[in-house]
Amino acid sequence: MELTEPQLCFPMLLNTSCRRQPARASYGMDVLSILLFFMAVVTAFLNLLVIISISHFRQLHSSTNSFLLSLAVSDFLIGMVVVPIEVQMTSTCWYLGDLLCALYFIVPITLIMASVGTMVLISVDRYVAICDPLRYQTRITIKVVNLSICLCWTCAVIYSVCLLHENLEHPGRFNSCFGECVVNINGEVDLVVGCILPVSVVIVLYTRVFKVVLSQVRAMRCQVSLPSATGNAKMSEVKAATSLGVVVLAFLFCYIPYYLVTMSGGHILIGSLIESYTIFIVYFNSCLNPVIYALFCRWFRTALKLIVTLQILKPGSCHARLL
Sign of CA dihedral 301, 305, 308, 311: negative
User: What domains sit in the chain, N to C, each tagged with a CATH number?
Assistant: 32-317 (1.20.1070.10)
- DSSP letter for 269, please: E
d(Cα 109, Cα 66) in Å, to the nearest integer?
22
Pairwise CA distance, residues 88 & 92, whole Å: 6
Band the pLDDT of 223: cuts 50, 70, 90. low
Q: Nearest 5°: CA angle at 120, between 278 and 113?
A: 45
Residue type, 179: G
- 197 touches 113 (CB < 8 A): no
- Best-predicted range by mean pLDDT (35-39, 42-46, 300-304): 42-46
* pLDDT given for residue 229 in this prediction: 47
Collapsing DSSP states into helix, strand and coil, what is residue 272? Answer: coil
Q: In degrees rounded to 5, what are phi and psi of residue 155?
A: -65, -35
Angle at which helix 298-308 crosses helix 27-56, to 10 degrees, equals: 100
Phi/psi region, residue 141 (left: phi>0; alpha: psi -120 to 50; beta: rest), is beta
pLDDT single digits (tens) 130-188: 888 888 888 888 899 999 999 999 999 999 999 898 888 888 877 777 877 888 877 77
Contact criterion met (CB below 8 Å) for 109 and 161: no
Concatenate the DSSP letters of all residues of 19-49 into one string.
BPPPSS--HHHHHHHHHHHHHHHHHHHHHHH
The predicted model scores a pTM of 0.83
- Rounded Cα distance, 64 and 145, in Å: 9
Whole-number CA gyration radius for the chain: 23
What angle in degrees, to the nearest 10, is found between the helix axes of 27-56 and 63-77? Answer: 150
> 1 pLDDT exceeds 50?
no
